[in-house]
Amino acid sequence: AYSTSFNGIALVEELAVNITEDFAGTDIGIKNSDITLNSQITWTLYGGIFAQLNVVYQYVINFNQSNLNYPMLIDEFNSYFNQPVEHVAFAIAHFHKSFLREKLYLAVNVAYLYPQVYIAPRVSYALSDEMKIETGADIKTGQPSEYTLARGNLSDNYYLRLKYEF
């Protein structure tokens, strides 16, 4: 990891290498090794709005290296869950601002994973130090493909909750 700052703007670079037990990629039942790069920039916008942008790229080192003849169904299952794509890249933007002596908190997250956009507005109001009322939504554009990270949930999500922290 590396980080630096200049004029209130912070830049963080992180590199992770995940080596699995089957580095050669010959066992299709084991998730493959990968390299992940996360670039993050944070700064404060006009009016004290906190902004953060993350760009993440992942490369599967031994993608599709299995030379074994598995039946079609097993091959399809393992490729769906263990190594759906060789390259994954996405961007996430986060903005938030507190008001009323930090009792009211407004935030929005926007993620882009081609060809979809995910939007997540959030509102929180602190009734006390331990109790908050929160509402928000998870809105997805388009229909997820079989390779999308959230492929199991095709519906948008809306919530209102009373949160107690201790």
Q: Could you read off the pLDDT of 86-120 as tens digits, one per residue?
A: 788 889 999 999 999 889 999 999 998 877 888 99
Please check whether residue 7 lies inside any domain of the structure: yes
Own/partner contacts of 13-19, CB < 8 Å, gap of 24 or more, are: 13/37, 13/38, 13/39, 13/40, 14/38, 14/40
Closest CA to 12 of 1, 23, 21: 1
Please check whether residue 27 lies inside any domain of the structure: yes
pTM here is 0.72
Comparing 122-131, 146-155, 157-166, the range with the smallest average pLDDT is: 146-155
Please check whether residue 138 lies inside any domain of the structure: no
pLDDT tens readout for residues 13-71: 999 998 877 766 666 656 678 899 999 999 999 999 999 999 999 888 876 666 666 66
Please check whether residue 163 lies inside any domain of the structure: no
Six token digits for residue 140? 């997805």
Please check whether residue 115 lies inside any domain of the structure: no
Looking from the CA of 156 toward its CB, the CA atoms found within 13 Å total 13
Six token digits for residue 67? 């030379």
Please check whether residue 50 lies inside any domain of the structure: yes
Q: Please tell me the total count of domains within the chain.
A: 1
Largest CA distance in the chain: 63
What confidence score (pLDDT) does residue 20 get? 79
Please check whether residue 118 lies inside any domain of the structure: no
> Residue 37 is part of which domain span?
2-99
Sign for the CA dihedral angle at 93, 99, 101, 103 comes to negative
Please check whether residue 129 lies inside any domain of the structure: no
- Measured in whole angstroms, the distance separating CA 51 from the mean position of its chain's CA atoms is 16
